């Protein structure tokens, strides 16, 4: 034990601020689907987050191995693995944040909506358990189709009498991550300094990057460049699905994006001011009941849903054409949740 204490101190591997727990409050984070393609790297990244004191890893199988593996990393979070439905309650109890990457991913030729038949039921049953065991937790929904799974979760929580619209988030951070990467590359800007809001939803044309609001501003990009960047951001998921050729969809970039968003939620919970991320939430900024936009995060989850800001004509057109698809995906989710 003495040897273990003196070997790889985390501060030697990473900067002190990255690992030190300081006086951060206790926070329990649960990952549902933790043994999957996203779940495993996301478990790793959450284990590295000094804001997490307890990390609970749940899946229908294989979580003991993932948990044992990740638990050997010498960082703050205490790790526990839970496998099988009978352990779901224990996994969830006392959680501050529940991250859900459970469900099947796309194969080439599929849309995200093609996943609805399998994933809607998975999400529904997990949300029933969340309502029972940790009704006050923030829920970060990654499972596709996000445009429908978030409304499903809302309906399940409403039925259980636990719904708080401030605590339910569709994770659209990967769209922002992609928009930043593609914009920085095209405009030859330092990627770490780039920010691009992405609004709407998380599927095809419902993903609307607002390059007119990108910072730093670029004077080198013309209309055609913006069209191409928009299309690449909208098709980013498909680009990965095709490259993986039947072996799933984005997992590593998604784990990164999920960790960024969960970190923002944790900071908000801890009272850090001015934490703003794009997310798909209950919203009144358009006529649609759910919409992704910039959201200010606070001690109770959503503190403020920020407006769209000024849009270019191209973006106005995009906004108009995304609404029918987003509306029908929302309605499909609501209908499913209320069926049985
Ligand atoms: P995967 O198949 O590799 O992993 C999914 C995991 O979910 C598996 O380990 C499986 O056992 C588990 N699972 C299935 N049913 C479960 C249940 N009832 N309870 C708990 N766990 C259960 O898939 P993946 O690549 O990790 O993708 C997961 C989901 O995330 C897919 O729906 C995918 O489309 C979605 N996704 C979303 C985004 C986004 O930007 N929001 C990005 C990438 C992927
Ligand atoms: C993504 O954007 O990468 C995910 O939604 C997965 C997918 O099916 O494209």
pLDDT, tens digit, for every residue of 235-266? 999 999 999 999 999 999 999 999 999 999 99
145 Cβ below 6 A of ligand 1: no
Residues with Cβ < 8 Å from 193, sequence gap 6 or more? Answer: 215, 216
Check pLDDT > 60 for residue 327: yes
207 Cβ below 6 A of ligand 2: no
233 Cβ below 6 A of ligand 2: no
Position 256 scores a pLDDT of 98
The preferred substitution site among 82, 102, 112, 149 for testing ligand 1, maximizing ligand atoms within 8 Å of CB, is 102
Q: What are phi and psi of 313, to 5 degrees?
A: -60, -40
144 Cβ below 6 A of ligand 1: yes
171 Cβ below 6 A of ligand 2: no
Check pLDDT > 90 for residue 1: no
Position 340 scores a pLDDT of 67
For the chain, the straight-line distance linking the first and the last C-alpha, in angstroms and rounded, comes to 54
Q: Encode pLDDT of 279-316 as tens digits.
A: 999 999 999 999 999 999 999 999 999 999 999 999 99
Tell me how far the alpha carbon of residue 177 lies from the centroid of ligand 1, in angstroms.
19
* Annotated catalytic residue, options 76, 180, 202, 232: 202
Position 22 scores a pLDDT of 63
The Cα–Cα gap between 156 and 149 comes to: 11
Residues with Cβ < 8 Å from 65, sequence gap 6 or more? Answer: 35, 81
| ipTM value | 0.99
Q: Which residue has the tokens 């900067």?
A: 15
- To the question of whether residue 33 is assigned a binding role by annotation, the answer is yes
Is 202 noted as a catalytic residue in this protein? yes
Residues with Cβ < 8 Å from 200, sequence gap 6 or more? Answer: 206, 207, 208, 291, 292, 318, 319, 322, 326
Query: Of all atoms in ligand 2, which is nearest to the CA of residue 144?
Result: 5
Check pLDDT > 70 for residue 17: no
Do 79 and 103 meet the contact criterion of CB atoms below 8 Å apart?
Answer: no
The CA-based diameter of the chain, rounded to the nearest angstrom, is 65
Do 297 and 276 meet the contact criterion of CB atoms below 8 Å apart?
Answer: yes
- Strand, coil or helix: what is 106? coil
Tell me how far the alpha carbon of residue 43 lies from the centroid of ligand 1, in angstroms.
13
Q: For the full predicted model, state whether its pTM sits above 0.90.
A: yes
- To the question of whether residue 259 is assigned a binding role by annotation, the answer is no
Structure tokens at 276: 């703003």
Tell me how far the alpha carbon of residue 237 lies from the centroid of ligand 2, in angstroms.
4
Do 336 and 152 meet the contact criterion of CB atoms below 8 Å apart?
Answer: yes
Give the closest ligand to the alpha carbon of residue 150.
1
Query: 13 falls in which pLDDT band (50, 70, 90)?
Result: very low
Tell me how far the alpha carbon of residue 193 lies from the centroid of ligand 1, in angstroms.
31
């Amino acid at each position: 034990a003495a040897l273990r204490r003196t070997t790889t101190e985390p501060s030697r591997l990473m900067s002190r601020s990255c690992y030190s727990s300081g006086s951060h409050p206790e926070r329990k984070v649960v990952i549902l689907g933790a043994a999957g393609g996203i779940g495993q790297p996301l478990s790793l990244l959450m284990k590295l987050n000094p804001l997490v004191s307890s990390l609970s890893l749940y899946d229908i199988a294989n979580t003991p191995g993932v948990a044992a593996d990740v638990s050997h990393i010498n960082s703050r979070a205490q790790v526990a693995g839970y496998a099988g439905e009978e352990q779901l309650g224990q996994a969830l109890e006392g959680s501050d944040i529940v991250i859900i990457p459970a469900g099947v991913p796309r194969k080439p030729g599929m849309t995200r909506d093609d996943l609805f038949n399998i994933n809607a039921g998975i999400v529904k049953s997990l949300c029933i358990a969340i309502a029972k065991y940790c009704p006050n937790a923030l829920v970060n929904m990654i499972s596709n189709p996000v445009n429908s799974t978030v409304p499903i979760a809302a309906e399940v929580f409403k039925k259980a009498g636990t719904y708080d619209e401030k605590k339910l988030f569709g994770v659209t951070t990967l769209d922002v991550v992609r928009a930043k990467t593609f914009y920085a590359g095209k405009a030859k800007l330092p990627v770490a300094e780039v920010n691009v809001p992405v609004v709407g939803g998380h599927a095809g044309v419902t993903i609307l990057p607002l390059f007119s609001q990108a910072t730093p501003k670029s004077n080198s990009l013309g209309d055609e460049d913006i069209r191409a960047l928009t299309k690449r951001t909208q098709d980013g998921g498909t680009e990965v699905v095709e490259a993986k050729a039947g072996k799933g969809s984005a997992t590593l970039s998604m784990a990164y994006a999920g960790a960024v968003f969960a970190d923002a939620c944790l900071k908000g919970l801890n009272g850090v001011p001015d934490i703003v991320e794009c997310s798909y939430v209950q919203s009144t900024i358009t006529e649609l009941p759910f919409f992704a936009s910039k959201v200010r995060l606070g001690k109770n989850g959503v503190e403020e849903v920020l407006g769209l800001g000024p849009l270019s004509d191209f973006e106005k057109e995009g906004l108009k054409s995304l609404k029918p698809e987003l509306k029908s995906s929302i309605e499909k989710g609501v209908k499913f949740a209320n069926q049985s």
